[in-house]
C-alpha cells in the first residue's frame, strides 16, 4: 500500500510539471466543485476557490507553488477582461445620473475603512506605520468577484451600475491613498532618504494613475478605430483581445495599473459608439474558462499554514471583522447621504467584502520597495506579519465574499432566482 502511494506521488509530481496537465485539472476540479456549490445555492466562484485549495500545496499538492507562479498569465488575462467589462458600464449618460452619488460612496468608504482598520489594528499592538499600511490596503476590493457574480446571474440595472462605478473608482482611489500612506509610513520609520523621499513615493502613486489613464485612453481609441468598420465576429474578437493584451502587458512591464488602463479603455469604447456593446457580447463567451482558471489559481495560492500563527490570527481576525463592518457601514452611510434607493443602500456594502488582486499587489509593492530593503530585521519581520495578515484576509473574504455578493446582487436588483 505504501509503495502504491509513493508511486502515485511520483506520478503526481511528474504530471504536475506540465502546464497543460495543470490547466486541465484546474478546469475539471473547478467545474465539479462549482456545480456542487451551485446545487447548495452558493456561487460557482466559491467552488472554484475550494477546488484551488484542494489541488494546491496546502492539501493534495497537484498544483505546486512554482507552477501557480508560472501561470501568472492567466491572472493577467482575466484582470484585463474584467477591467474592460467594468469600464463598459461607464457611459456618460449613466455618470450624469449617478456620478455624484458614486463619488460620495467611494470617498466615504476610502476614508472610513482606512480610519477604522488603522485604529483597530493599533489597539491590538500593531505599530502606527504598519497599521496605516494595513488601513490603506483594507480599502481595496476585488473587481474579479464583482464581475463574475454579475455575469453569472446576468444581472442588469441601477444596482449593477452603482456597483461597477464604486468598484472602479475605489481601485483608483486605493492606489492614490496607498501612495500617500506609504510615504507617511516610510517617514515615521525613519527610512526616507535622498533616494526614497516621501514626495517621490507620493509622486510615483499619482504618476501611476495618470499614466494608466492616458494609456487607457489610447487603448480605447485604438480598439475603436480598428473595429469600427468590421462586421465579422472573429475580426472583432481578434483585434479587441490583441490590443487589450498588448496594453495589459505594457502596464505590467512598466508597473502601471492594468485595471485602470482597461477600465478606461472600456469607458472610451462605450462612449464613442453604442455599437461597441457588440464587442463585449463577443468577448463574454470566452470568460467562463478564464474566470474559472483565475479563481482556481487564486485558491491554490492560499496557504492554510498561515492559520497556525497566533499573532496572525489575532491581527488578521480583527482586520477582517473591522474591515468588513466598516465597508458595509460606510457604503450604507454614503448611500444614505446621496439619497440612493433602499435596495441599493441595504445591499451594496456586501459586494465590497471580497479582497484579492489589488491588495496582494500592494503588499508585493511594499516587499519590493527600496524602503523595505532599508528596514531593520525587526521591521522586516513586521512586514512579514503584515503580508500574512493580508493573505488571511484574502482567504477569509474569498470564501465568505462571493456568497454574500451573490445574495446582495439578487436582492439589490430584485431578481427572482
C-alpha cell belonging to residue 149: 457574480
CA atoms within 13 A on the CB side of 195: 6
Which of 92-96, 133-137, 254-258 bottoms out in mean pLDDT, i.e. has the lowest? 92-96
The predicted-structure confidence for 66-108, as pLDDT tens digits, reads as follows 666 667 777 778 778 877 877 776 777 766 666 788 888 888 9
Task: Inform me whether the pLDDT recorded for 2 exceeds 70.
Answer: no
pLDDT at residue 401 is higher than 70: yes
pLDDT confidence of residue 307: 66
Give the mean model confidence (pLDDT) for residues 109-136: 89
Mean pLDDT over residues 360-372, rounded? Answer: 61
Q: What pLDDT shows up at residue 67?
A: 65
* Residue 140 CB-density burial (10 A; 0-12 exposed, 13-18 middle, 19+ buried): buried
Instruction: Taking each helix axis as running N to C, give the angle between helix 357-368 and helix 128-138, from 0 to 180 degrees, rounded to the nearest 10.
Output: 150
Mean pLDDT of 367-387: 67
The domain limits of the chain are 2-70, 72-413
The string of pLDDT tens digits covering residues 157-178 is 888 888 888 887 787 778 778 7
pLDDT bin (cut points 50, 70, 90) of residue 298 is confident
H or E segment and range at residue 231: none
Taking the C-alpha atoms of residue 344 and residue 328, their distance in angstroms, rounded to an integer, is: 12
**257 or 131, greater pLDDT:** 131
Q: pLDDT for 270-287, tens place per residue?
A: 888 777 777 777 887 777
Give the pLDDT of residue 329.
Answer: 92
pLDDT, residue 321, reads 92
Grid cell 499554514 in the structure block, residue: 305
Q: What average pLDDT does the structure give for the chain?
A: 78
Q: 116 falls in which pLDDT band (50, 70, 90)?
A: very high
At residue 199, the pLDDT reads 57
User: Right CATH number for 72-413 from 1.10.3720.10, 1.20.1530.20, 2.60.120.260, 2.60.40.10?
Assistant: 1.20.1530.20
Task: Look at residue 322 in the predicted model and tell me its pLDDT.
Answer: 92
Amino acid at each position: 500500500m505504501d509503495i502504491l502511494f509513493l508511486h502515485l506521488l511520483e506520478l503526481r509530481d511528474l504530471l504536475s510539471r506540465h502546464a497543460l496537465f495543470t490547466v486541465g485539472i484546474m478546469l475539471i476540479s473547478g467545474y465539479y466543485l462549482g456545480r456542487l456549490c451551485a446545487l447548495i445555492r452558493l456561487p460557482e466562484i466559491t467552488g472554484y476557490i475550494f477546488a484551488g485549495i484542494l489541488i494546491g500545496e496546502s492539501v493534495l499538492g497537484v498544483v505546486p507553488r512554482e507552477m501557480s507562479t508560472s501561470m501568472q498569465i492567466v491572472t493577467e488575462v482575466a484582470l484585463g477582461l474584467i477591467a474592460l467589462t467594468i469600464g463598459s458600464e461607464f457611459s456618460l449618460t449613466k455618470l450624469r445620473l449617478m456620478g455624484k452619488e458614486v463619488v460620495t460612496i467611494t470617498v466615504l468608504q476610502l476614508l472610513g475603512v482606512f480610519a477604522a482598520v488603522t485604529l483597530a489594528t493599533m489597539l491590538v499592538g500593531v505599530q502606527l506605520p504598519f497599521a496605516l499600511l494595513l488601513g490603506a490596503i483594507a480599502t481595496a476590493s476585488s473587481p474579479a468577484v464583482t464581475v463574475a457574480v454579475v455575469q453569472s446571474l446576468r444581472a442588469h440595472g441601477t444596482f449593477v451600475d452603482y456597483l461597477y462605478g464604486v468598484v472602479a473608482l475605489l481601485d483608483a482611489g486605493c492606489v492614490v491613498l496607498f501612495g500617500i500612506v506609504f510615504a507617511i509610513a516610510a517617514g515615521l520609520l525613519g527610512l526616507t532618504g535622498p533616494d526614497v523621499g516621501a514626495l517621490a513615493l507620493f509622486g510615483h502613486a499619482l504618476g501611476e494613475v495618470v499614466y494608466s489613464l492616458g494609456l487607457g485612453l489610447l487603448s480605447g481609441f485604438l480598439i475603436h478605430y480598428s473595429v469600427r468598420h468590421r462586421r465579422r465576429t472573429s475580426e472583432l474578437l481578434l483585434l479587441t483581445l490583441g490590443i487589450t493584451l498588448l496594453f495589459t502587458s505594457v502596464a505590467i512591464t512598466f508597473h502601471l495599473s492594468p485595471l485602470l488602463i482597461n477600465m478606461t479603455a472600456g469607458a472610451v469604447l462605450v462612449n464613442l459608439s453604442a455599437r461597441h456593446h457588440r464587442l463585449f457580447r463577443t468577448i463574454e463567451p470566452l470568460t467562463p474558462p478564464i474566470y474559472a482558471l483565475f479563481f482556481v489559481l487564486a485558491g491554490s495560492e492560499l496557504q492554510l499554514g498561515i492559520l497556525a500563527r497566533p499573532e496572525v490570527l489575532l491581527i488578521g481576525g480583527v482586520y477582517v471583522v473591522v474591515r468588513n463592518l466598516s465597508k458595509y457601514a460606510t457604503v450604507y452611510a454614503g448611500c444614505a447621504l446621496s439619497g440612493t434607493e433602499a435596495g441599493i443602500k441595504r445591499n451594496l456594502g456586501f459586494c465590497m467584502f471580497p479582497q484579492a488582486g489589488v491588495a496582494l499587489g500592494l503588499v508585493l509593492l511594499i516587499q519590493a520597495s527600496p524602503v523595505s530593503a532599508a528596514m531593520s530585521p525587526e521591521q522586516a519581520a513586521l512586514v512579514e506579519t503584515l503580508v500574512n495578515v493580508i493573505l488571511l484576509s484574502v482567504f477569509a473574504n474569498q470564501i465568505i465574499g462571493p456568497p454574500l455578493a451573490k445574495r446582495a446582487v439578487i436582492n439589490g436588483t430584485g431578481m427572482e432566482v
